[in-house]
Structure 1
Amino acid sequence: MVAATSKDTNTRFSAESILARSYRFSNYVRLGLGLVFAGAVLATGIGRFHLILIQAEAVGTLVYLFLGLLGLYFMRGGRIPRRFARIAILLDFTTLGAIFGVVCSSSSEDAFQMIGNMPVYAIFFISIGYSALLGSPRYTLFITLYAGLLYAMGLLLAGQSGVIFGGKPDPINSILSLPNAVLQTLFILLTGSIVAAVLQMHRGLSRIAEDHGEEKAQLIESLKQRRQKLANHALELEKTTADFKQFVEDTTGRIETQAAALEQANAVSEELTASATSTSETVKSQSEGIERMATESEQLRGIIERVVRSNDSLNRSARESMESMQSTGQAIEETMGSLRNLEQAFASVQQITGIMTEIADKTNLLSLNASIEAARAGDAGRGFAVVATEVSKLADYTAENVRRIGEIVEQSLQTIASARSHADNAVSQAEHQRTRTRETEEQVRTTSKLLKSQNEILENLIAELEVQRDRAGAVLTTAREQIEGQKELARTMASLDTEVSRINDASSRLKQGIDSIAHQSYELRELSQG
């Protein structure tokens, strides 16, 4: 019952909040119309304020803005001023009808334009629309009739001011279509009637929804009580099942423990039997193996002696290779010294080519100066000019040869650098090979020591094999006696394990039945809490 009361309170608060938003939205529409009127007055009324149309729109703008601001004041804090909202909408239509009537009564031209002004005609429909936001079908119908009356009065005033209502409209002679005028009035009335009918239908559906909501709340409360009882029974059944399940699990655990112990004992017995059999066979094969090992050990001793001799020969080869590599390294070092000396010599040649290039440049400059002086001397210096020309050619020839020598020297230096790089690599490889040879020699020495130790161990092993061969004969006899006893014990344990397995299977089936009952009890409790 408390839940139903809380639900009704929440529904009422939700309905009031929706109604408050509707009232605020209708007031915002009013403010928007006021701003639209203000924009129209400012756009078209500058310099034309003496016109009755502009004056009427200015008065309408002030009324709409005043009512909109007053509505913001009354609706602050989420309040719902129902009386003010209805009076404000009535004043909206009165202002709109007054503007329409005043303009229609001023002159036939103004009346013709006003009746044909679709934005003004649309404002009637907009006003009817936001009057429906108050949620009263009767008030909406009343406002619709009032709007249709105001529009019809405007048409009558237009007729008195000179507008003619005929069959075909004629703007020049201020003739309007009478059917269109009648239809416009009827459209206002029809639209308002439809909106009022929709509101009435919505209110009826809301009442039906509220009645169904109360019935559902009572049904839900009854279902909650039944579900609680069902949950209590399910808990008791689940608790009883859990206790019985614990008892069966404990019993099954003990049986499984005994079965596991029997299986383990049986397995141990079988393993002992198998082990004794395997031991007997192993001892037998071991005796035969010892005989073979003794023979093969003698052969292995001979092989080890030959490996020792081969290892000594390898050691001598490694020392000789080491000495050869040292000689090679010294030869490479000497080659590196020769390359460095050759590189220094070519560097000196490069310096000489630089000096020759400088001499050629100075000779060429001297030839140029001589040619200039010969030109100044005229005929007297003609022979001197010839000499200067030859000197210039010699300087160019010398410069060209010096350039070629420089290129040759540069290529030679690059070749020497490449050779020195290869020599460095050869030195590095020789040093690496020397290191590897030292390591090989050391490994050969270590191998020789290990082979000698292995030979000593092998001799001791041959002696021990003789002793173990005698002991294996005694173990073989004892193992055969143990095999017979283990077989008898294994048969007894297998019979006992079969009986325990049967008891364990029956306990498992009982446990599965209890698990099924517990699962059904859990599903019943989940369904009751559902």
Structure 2
Amino acid sequence: MSSNSFQATNFSIKGATSINRIRIGFSIVMLFVNLLSIVSNAQGEGASKSTILNLLIEFMILGYGIAQIILIRKNKLTPFFITLGVYLDILMYTMIFIVVTVTAASLEAMVGTLKMPFFIMLYFFVMIYSGLLLSPRTTLVVGYLALIGTFSMDYFAWLNGVQFRYATDKAEEMSVFFEVIKLVFFILGIHILTSVVKFLVNVSEIATVSSKEAEQKTAEAEKTKDRITSEADALNKNTSEMKTEMDTLNTEIQSQVSSMEQISASLEELAASTDSAAEFVKAQFVKIEDLNRESDTLHSILKEVRVSTESLSKTTEESKVYSRDVSAAMEVLGTNFNEVSKSFQKVQDVNDIMREIADRTNLLALNASIEAARAGDHGKGFAVVAQEVAKLADSASENASTISKIIAEAAKLITNGNSAAEETKRKVSVQESGFSSIVTNLNQLQTRVENQGQIHDSFLKSFRELFDLSRQIESIASEQKNGTKEVVQALSSIEQSSNIISEGSSRMRSNLEELSEQSQRLVAK
């Protein structure tokens, strides 16, 4: 343990106070001795100076001893200054011892002073009360400082002429053997005192721990006592409340017994109603099963209608495409008829030109025949040519008339064909509109059939769920019937148990009264 840890417990605080009281008391004694020495040696100048110096040192020791007492009471003294005060004690007493030794009247008196046990006893006295600080290190340091002070006295004596020998035969000589024994004794004493201080420190720590544990246990015992008192009060209060509750419970149990009898009668009526409901559920279950089979048949019919509608819609769509192709072909045919009509008109124009040429050729042949007749014999050959040209012109005129008739008949036929094509185109367009309407209606019919199929599927699913639900209701009704019987039996058992509980509550009330009396006695203790 360090030298500044003496304030950790009440023991170290009291030790510091005791040290200063011892210091003050010993200083007062030493002051009194020094004053007597001054009075008795008033005629010796040398003795008077050493005594006065010793008196001043004792006043210093007394002064800082009183100062430390005051600071301890004000709780302002630090561990450092307490320890420093012990070190100063060793230093001051060493100075006194050295002064006493050096100022001895002769070497024999100096040797006599060194052999006095008072100095060693005083050093050990300081070491002993340093142990009250409960600091082994401080005691050890004080011991070795005292050892240094003891041999400082020998050193100053040696400086002043005292001889140190192993074997002494003179009064002014000191024995080395005696000094070695003193050294060994001093060191042993230092370590013994240090061990004692360590033991005291351990005892102090154990005492502190035991004191804290005792305080804790005392506090816990007080808390336990308070808790027991509180619990006893609470128990007393609870027992009173429980007695009231038990009375209420007993009344309620009697009321519940009556209610149980009414409930039992109601459950018997409910069991009869459950049987009737079970029969109704069975009949409903059979009807739902028939509807389920009919729904399967309707589902098959709807499926066939959907397939037929899809096939008819496909066929109608193909017919619509064919009608569209025929309408396009009629339009092309009408265009071709118009082109042919235009071509025939051009041929008619050419035929008219040929007829005009034939007329002019015939007129030219007539003029040639007239001119050939005027020419006489010279114009006979020319007249024959004119006749042939006239015949050729007549033939060309006849052919033009024939071609004109043929063109007129062909134009008439083309006009009739064009009219027929236009009529066909119009009818095909009407037919295409009809097919479009049919396709639209078939698509709507197909959509409605599909919707009807979905509705029917949902309806069929609902029927199946209703079928399963009916089966579950039938099972539940059967279980409810059995459960009702069990509930009736349970109610009978509960009625018996209620009677037992009523009797038990009466006994418990008696026990609670006894427990209340015990808690009151516990609080009184």
TM-score by length of 2: 0.42
Which has more radius of gyration?
Answer: 2
